[in-house]
Amino acid sequence: MEAVLAKILIVDDDIHIANLITRFLKQKNYQVKYASDGKTAREIFNIFRPDLVILDINLPDTLGYNLCEEMQNNNDVFILMLTSRTDVEDKKKGFLIGADDYLTKPFDLEELEFRVQAILRRRRLIKSADINIIELDNLIINPETREIKYNNHLITFTSLEFDLLYFLASNPGKVWRREELVANVWQNNPMGDNRVVDVHIGQIRRKIEIDPNNPQYIITIRGVGYKFEDGK
């Protein structure tokens, strides 16, 4: 997917900020739609099918957290949270429910574009790579359809969770430091540290491991990082 073809939905009840972002991204050749509340955002989302949603947390009829989780559960879409909240716990909550990145108001438009490019680059990298379906016992990872099946059941993954799992599973046995995973999967450091990796690894384990505390697939290498064990 080329960035110039990417579709972006902006959801923010501040019309001045929304208009500013819309004009800026259209100048960069993105296709852009805008919604000022959750109800309108859902309607546009289902028709427009965006590649990326720039989503404010505080909306007049819902919380952006709820909308983020709902969108991630129904579509393989990237989410960039845009908010005036600066608390680390707020950011952690956003990442836990599926956000790919987090930008705090006020912000620089050039930084916004950088983050948009970094998010969309992940999908281009996976789609440009050789398509290899990974099958391990009861786990199937299909990068072409971006679907994950465990015990023949389709498991809902956020875009970021899928990218992280596919990256690890594509390099079985290799130990990755957290900063290396951030560099390869995120392409930027969304929280200013590497604890975001631990958060997403925990989420993935809860979805594919029989016992997340004694994982079969994603193994913690103490003092270093993680590796994927394919059982071979």
Residue 128 has a pLDDT of: 46
3-state DSSP assignment of residue 197: helix
Helix (H, G, I), strand (E, B) or coil at 79: strand
How many Cβ atoms sit within 10 Å of the Cβ of residue 198? 13
For the record, the structure tokens of 159 come out as 């875009």
Q: Return the higher-pLDDT residue of 96 and 62.
A: 62
Task: Find tokens 């059941």 and name the residue.
Answer: 153
Contact 224, 135 (CB under 8 A): no
pLDDT digits (tens, 9 = 90+) for 6-44: 899 999 999 999 999 999 999 999 999 999 999 999 999
Distance between CA atoms of 28 and 22, rounded to whole angstroms? 10
Q: What is the DSSP letter of 82?
A: E
Q: Would the pLDDT of 157 be above 90?
A: no
Q: CATH fold of 3-127, please?
A: Rossmann fold (3.40.50)
**Mean pLDDT confidence for 198-213:** 91
pLDDT value, residue 119: 83
Ramachandran area for residue 69 (φ above 0: left; ψ -120 to 50: alpha; else beta): alpha
In Å, how far from its chain's centre is CA 168?
Answer: 16
- Cα–Cα distance measured from residue 48 to residue 30, given in angstroms and rounded to the nearest whole number: 13
Is it true that domain 130-228 has CATH number 1.10.10.10? Answer: yes
Q: Which three-class secondary structure string do you get for 141-187?
A: EECCCCEEEECCEEECCCHHHHHHHHHHHCCCCCCEEHHHHHHHHHC
| Separation of alpha carbons 50 and 148, rounded Å | 21
Which of 13-27, 47-61, 66-80, 210-224 bottoms out in mean pLDDT, i.e. has the lowest? 66-80
**Contacting residues for 42 by C-beta, under 8 A, at least 6 apart:** 67, 70
Assess whether the region 3-127 and the region 130-228 belong to the same CATH fold. no
CA dihedral sign, ordered 193, 73, 171, 205: positive
What is the structure's pLDDT at 2?
42
Q: Which one is predicted more confidently, 4 or 220?
A: 220
Residue 42 carries which DSSP code? H
Which single residue is written with the structure tokens 């289902």? 46
- pTM to 2 decimal places: 0.65
CA 18, CA 10: separation in Å to the nearest integer?
A: 7
- Rounded-to-integer distance, Cα 82 and Cα 76, Å: 19
> Quick check: 159 pLDDT over 70?
yes
* Per-domain boundaries in the chain: 3-127, 130-228
H helix or E strand, kind and range, residue 18: helix 15-27
